[in-house]
Amino acid sequence: MRKHQPTIGGMLPGFITYMKVERQFSPATISKYRDNIQWFVREFGDRRAGDLALTDFISLKERLAADDGRREGRVSSIICAVKCILAYARDVHHARVFDLSAIRLPRKRRQPVVYLTDEELTRFLQAIPIRNWDGQPRLSGCRVRALVEILAASGMRISEALSLNREDIKFEEREAVIVGKGKKQRKEPIPVLHCLRQAPASAFASVP
pLDDT, tens digit (0-9, with 9 covering 90-100), for 51-67: 999 998 888 888 777 65
Residue partners of 65: CB distance under 8 A and separation at least 6:
75, 106
Question: Shortest CA distance to 81 belongs to which of 52, 20, 42, 39?
Answer: 39
How many angstroms separate the CA atoms of 63 and 57, rounded?
A: 10
Domain positions in the chain: 8-102, 118-204
* CATH annotation of 118-204: 1.10.443.10
pLDDT per residue over 138-169, tens digit each?
878 888 888 888 888 777 888 888 887 777 87
**Is the full-model pTM beyond 0.75?**
no
CATH number of 8-102: 1.10.150.130
